Amino acid sequence: MSAPISILVPIIGGKDRAQAIKNEMLIESRLDAAIDAFHDSQPPAMAEPVLSEQPINPDLQPGDSAMLGGEMRIQSPWSHD
């Protein structure tokens, strides 16, 4: 989120105003790039889920239920930080 240029740039005229607006936009784009680079360098906030799939167990899945496939799980790893 950025403030409108008219708030950030003091009231000046001509070339000075144009240069001030240009400088403000340059600073804003550099700051946005630095913020993005910082966020990209950080570790993920949450660990990836663990997906597991088991083969069909005929004792637990008799008849037509075997057509559904084996047991599937999604687990969230705990962090002890």
Per-residue pLDDT tens digits for 26-76: 888 899 999 999 999 998 777 788 999 999 988 888 888 888 888 899 998
- In this prediction the pTM is 0.39
The DSSP element (H or E) to which 73 belongs, if any, is strand 72-75
Asked whether residue 5 carries a pLDDT value surpassing 80, the answer given is: no
SS3 65: helix
Compute the C-alpha angle 7/13/18, nearest 5°.
70
